[in-house]
Amino acid sequence: MKRHVVLIGLPGSGKTTVGRLAAEQLQAGFVDVDGIIARREGKPITMIFAEKGEAAFREMERKEMETALGAAPAVVAPGGGWAAQPGAIEEARRCALVIYLRARPETAAQRAAPEGTRPLLLGEDPVARMRQLLKEREPFYRNAHAEVDTDRKTPSQVSFEVVRLAQSSAGW
């Protein structure tokens, strides 16, 4: 039986890019949780954070993940902080293969920088902030079923590994 594939990791680890590629290869739906929230709210995530605060955003994110995981199996990319919410990964593990896309803070900062839409990186030294986020979140990320190292790999190479894991462990 097919299960969802949930990609977790730092901002810039490749969740959205790899998720789209993997979904295409698996002929599955792709759920970009941040994208859904931004469209529904009619504003970028940075503005939602600024206007409503992180707690309100995390609640929106939790509800969108609940909706996604209750629908047909798909590749799901929540925001980087979703996995660090208490109980989030444990809940997802029941109906999904959770894959940690591991990236060094330097790599993640370099990949995330061009977008300028990441609220937890605004106005800070991106590498230092990524190191801090990794320190805070990695204990949660390590609860994933599997890890894929994304450093020095193209999105296609990482997506190949995600697809292989989905086929061997999630019924795809």
Q: What CATH number does the domain containing 8 carry?
A: 3.40.50.300
The parts of the chain modelled with pLDDT lower than 70 are 113-124
Question: Is the alpha carbon torsion for 57, 63, 67, 69 positive or negative?
Answer: positive
Count up the domains in the chain and report the number: 1
Q: Which domain holds residue 112?
A: 4-169
pLDDT confidence of residue 124:
67
So what's the pLDDT on residue 102? 97
Residue in the block written with tokens 């707690």: 55
Q: Which of 61, 165, 162 is nearest to 119 (CA)?
A: 61
Residues in the chain: 172
pLDDT at 122: 56
Instruction: With 0.75 as the threshold, say if the pTM is over it.
Output: yes
